Structure formats: structure tokens, C-alpha cells
Amino acid sequence: MEPLPGMEKLKRVTIVAESVVSERIQEDVLRLGAKGYTTTHAEGRGSRGVRASEWEGHNVKLETIVTPEVAGKILKYMEDKYFQHFAVIAYTIDVEVIRAKKYR
Amino acid sequence: MEPLPGMEKLKRVTIVAESVVSERIQEDVLRLGAKGYTTTHAEGRGSRGVRASEWEGHNVKLETIVTPEVAGKILKYMEDKYFQHFAVIAYTIDVEVIRAKKYR
Amino acid sequence: MEPLPGMEKLKRVTIVAESVVSERIQEDVLRLGAKGYTTTHAEGRGSRGVRASEWEGHNVKLETIVTPEVAGKILKYMEDKYFQHFAVIAYTIDVEVIRAKKYR
């Protein structure tokens, strides 16, 4: 659908990770260019990528709204640093925001 | 991607705000045409727009699925009434729903 | 917007339901092909579809990233088995993921 009037398209990055890993990721995200983020507690269940075994436990879901450029940097960093050793989920969604300048 | 068969495109509006402000926003959202909403507790961190200073604290994340028209009204209202004085984040995402009539 | 380099488009399915119903839905979602899911506690309010009356209470929000095919199966199942008797919200969002193979 077309963006609503006065709104701009940005990316929301979502990262779900175990609590202890999430603390490091929160610092990473700000260092890579995010202006802020929101976290919520979550429970995860399932086979999560590199670990073939069934997996279940406490997680932190981080959400941040960023430019496509920063989104690309964050996702690349997640892939390089975390995906091999941790059960991390990371993805982006297109969003339309008002007052886009505060996310740049 | 194409919508899945039998599904309709609507907008999900997400609003993250401090708890005390969120209570007012919840009333606003229903008055502006939303048929319901879901809230979750969240933590926020970062420089949040009008307040240049670092910001950290308890938030409520509100999510509601509405028509594009109602989404536009809600976002406009957030901009007019809250953005100048409160650390509010508001954005929309395109969603595909089943039984779209219950959100109209 | 174009997908970021190295990322693939999949669907995120979100299902909000009362706790007791959500437990069954979590099993359904895995059986229908999801490789895992994340849940968060949520509060719901509003007129929710088949029940015309005002509704308010504890919910579980389930999120899972799946192929479009599995998304279609899950949404169809929700419609067939839950929508008539329970206050369930179900929708999909397009997402871009890294390491898409772990969701297949």
C-alpha cells in the first residue's frame, strides 16, 4: 500500500536473543547507528538454526527503527558475530513513521 | 509479496509511550476508530526525538489493526498532541489479516 | 523497499489469543510446519470479532517466521478451528531475514 501522507519509510529491525547475549547486542545496535531501541521479555521455543536440538527458554526481543543503511549494518554484524554460536533471530520489516528525523 | 488467498491488507499501528501517557493514548485510539488493541510492557532506551538527552525507562507498547484511514487519523493525532511534549514512537506496518471485517 | 543484500523474504505470523487457547495454538503452529516461535504476555481490549461485547483480559502473543506456504496453512487453520468460538487475532507481515534456511 502507499505510505500515508507525511510519513516516511524506514526499517524496523527485530532481534530475539537469550538475555545474556542481548545485553551485548543492545550496545552493538547503538554503536552501529541506532538512536534507541525497545526491549520486551519473550519466551522462545523451537529448533533454532545452528543448534539442531530442541530449544526453549527466556529471551529478550529488541526492536529498533533505523535507516535501511543502518539496518543492513546491524543484520550483517549479527550474522558475522552471533549466528554461528548463539540462537539469535534477526529480521527487518518495512515501517512508515512520522517524524522520521529522530531515527536518523 | 502477494497477499495470501482470502486475506485483506490493513495497517497495524504501533505506539510506544511511557505508561502514564499510554493510558490516554489507549482511549484516543478507540475514539479515533480502532475496534481494539493489544498492549505489552516494554523497556525503552535511547535519544528519543524532542528530548535530546539520553532516555531510559518503562513503556507500554500498544498495537492495533485498523484501516488505512483510521491509521492516518491516529498517527496525525499522535503528531499533533504528543510528539512535542512526550517521548512517543509511532509507526505503521502493512499487515494481511483474515476476517478483516472485525477491524473495520 | 528492496530487500537488503543477502536477505530473503518470508512471512511473520502473529497470533494473539487467550492463554488457555494459546497453548493449543502453539502445538498447532509447530505441527503445521513452523520451526519455532516466540511468545510474549499481552493485554487485550476491545470488541473482538464474533463476540460483540466489550472484551478485556490476559493474552499471549505468538510470533513465528515461516514460508508463505506454511503461513497460509496456519492462517487457514486458525480460521477453521478458532475464529468462530474464540477471540483470536491472526495476521501476517512480510519480513526479510538472514539465514532463511533455519525457518524452512
Residue B52 predicted with pLDDT over 50: no
Q: Which is nearest to C8 in space by CA: C65, C87, C89?
A: C65
In the numeric block, which cell numbers belong to residue B82? 504528543
The mean of the pLDDT values for chain A is 87
Distance CA B99, CA B87 (A): 34
pLDDT of res. B2: 66
Q: How confident is the model at residue B1 (pLDDT cuts 50, 70, 90)?
A: low
pLDDT greater at residue C103 or residue A69? A69
Distance CA B63, CA B48 (A): 19
DSSP A96: E
Give the list of residues 6+ apart from residue B18 with CB closer than 8 angstroms, or none.
B57, B58, B59, B60, B86, B87
Which pTM does this prediction carry?
0.90
Contacts 24+ apart (CB under 8 A), B46-53: B46/A30, B46/A34, B46/A35, B46/A36, B46/A37, B47/A35, B47/A36, B47/A102, B48/A35, B48/A36, B48/A102, B48/B87, B48/B89, B49/A99, B49/A102, B49/B83, B49/B87, B49/B88, B50/A102, B50/B83, B50/B84, B50/B85, B50/B87, B51/B87
pLDDT of res. C50: 34
- Most distant CA atoms of chain A, gap in Å: 47
Put simply, the answer to whether A93 touches C98 (Cβ < 8 Å) is no
Put simply, the answer to whether A91 touches C94 (Cβ < 8 Å) is no
Task: Please provide the CATH number assigned to the domain covering C8-103.
Answer: 3.30.70.120
User: Which residue ranges make up each domain of chain C?
Assistant: 8-103
Mean pLDDT score, B50-63: 68
pLDDT of res. C84: 86
CA distance B42 to chain C (A): 11
In the numeric block, which cell numbers belong to residue B79? 503528531
Of B4, B10, B99, the CB nearest to C71: B4
Chain segment C64-89, per-residue pLDDT in tens? 999 999 999 999 999 999 988 888 99
Of C40, C48, C68, the CB nearest to B1: C68
Q: Which is nearest to C102 in space by CA: C65, C49, C70, C71?
A: C65
pLDDT greater at residue A103 or residue C2? A103
Chain segment C5-58, per-residue pLDDT in tens? 778 999 999 999 998 899 999 999 999 999 999 999 999 887 554 343 455 678
Which of A96, A101, A103 is the best mutation test for B, with the most CBs of B within 10 A? Answer: A96
Chain segment A66-94, per-residue pLDDT in tens? 999 999 999 999 999 998 888 899 999 99
Of A30, A40, A98, the CB nearest to B41: A40
Asked whether this complex has an ipTM greater than 0.90, the answer is no
Provide residues of B within 8 Å CB-CB of chain C.
Answer: 1, 4-7, 10, 12, 26, 30, 34-41, 65, 93-99, 102
Domain A8-99 has CATH 3.30.70.120: yes
pLDDT of res. C30: 95
Strands C54-66 and B8-18: unpaired
Q: How confident is the model at residue B51 (pLDDT cuts 50, 70, 90)?
A: very low
Ramachandran region, residue C12 (left: φ > 0; alpha: ψ -120 to 50; beta: rest): beta
pLDDT of res. B53: 43
Residue type, A102: K
